[in-house]
Amino acid sequence: MPAPEADLAKLETVVNERAMPPKLFRLVHWTTGLRTDDQRALLDWIASQRRAYATRGVAPEFANEPVQPLPDSLPTDTGKVAVGRQLFNDVRLSADNTISCASCHTLSTGGVDGKKVSSGVGGQLGLVDAPTVFNAALNDKQFRDGRAATLQEQAGGPPLNPVEMASRSWSEIIDKLKQDSSLTQQFLTVYRDGWSGANITDAIAQYETTLLTPSRFDAYLRGGQACAE
């Protein structure tokens, strides 16, 4: 078990700033304090512990850097991604068939709606502005206050949120989706146990897991050539 990341960061600061032992103590015991080789040994140990947290594929020389490369892709099920893409863009998730996830998370505008606060069904205003869905798969937790642990749990919020998509229940949504025979056929191919809120949110989460934006800088952090521009 490596030491917790937060503890490593605290220790690193203390070692770098030679903050221990405290100044007052050192005034009296002036031969004490970290020697340079102690400091080096501690920083090496921190770096070795940190390797356990390094992003997969990062070049060894960048493994101990705070900025880590985005992955090119994450494991997903292609069939579920295809269904999830449709559901993400499907207004039938909303009570009056006017709003989809994409209405507030428009991919062509950076995965956001560009508004100060998002507006839901009937123009109702939310309390915060929409964060992007790009790279959300890499978030430790979802929502600004971290109230959803996973993308799937997050996707369960908006459809039944009265100021967002305002549907009353999953069965209300599923009754509409079921009438779409082509979508239902695709859905049942990848979700043998049929329509359910859990499967719908799983498909959407699978799709969102593909919304990554690795750049040439990330390729560089993975050990590629330095970017020219």
Binding site for ligand HEC (CB under 6 A): 88, 93, 99, 101, 103-105, 118, 120, 126, 128, 130-131, 133, 136, 139, 142-144, 151, 154-155, 158-159, 164-165, 204
Task: Report yes or no: 112 and 129 within 8 Å, Cβ to Cβ.
Answer: yes
> Is the peptide bond between 2 and the residue preceding it cis, with omega within 30 degrees of 0?
no
Provide the minimum distance between the beta carbon of 163 and ligand HEC in the complex, in angstroms, as a whole number: 7
Closer of 8 and 166 to ligand HEC (Cβ): 166
Looking at 164, 172, 208, 229, which residue is catalytic? 164
Provide the minimum distance between the beta carbon of 119 and ligand HEC in the complex, in angstroms, as a whole number: 6
What distance in Å separates the CA atoms of residue 226 and residue 130, rounded to the nearest whole number?
34
Provide the minimum distance between the beta carbon of 121 and ligand HEC in the complex, in angstroms, as a whole number: 8
Task: Report yes or no: 120 and 165 within 8 Å, Cβ to Cβ.
Answer: yes
Task: Report yes or no: 228 and 108 within 8 Å, Cβ to Cβ.
Answer: no
What distance in Å separates the CA atoms of residue 173 and residue 190, rounded to the nearest whole number?
19
Tokens of 203: 């498909």
Closer of 151 and 177 to ligand HEC (Cβ): 151
Closer of 64 and 167 to ligand HEC (Cβ): 167
Does 164 participate in catalysis according to the annotation?
Answer: yes
What distance in Å separates the CA atoms of residue 110 and residue 213, rounded to the nearest whole number?
10
Provide the minimum distance between the beta carbon of 10 and ligand HEC in the complex, in angstroms, as a whole number: 26
Task: Report yes or no: 113 and 106 within 8 Å, Cβ to Cβ.
Answer: yes
What distance in Å separates the CA atoms of residue 39 and residue 45, rounded to the nearest whole number?
10
Q: Interior CA angle at 182 toward 178 and 187, to 5°?
A: 65
Closer of 8 and 165 to ligand HEC (Cβ): 165
Residues acting as catalytic residues = 164
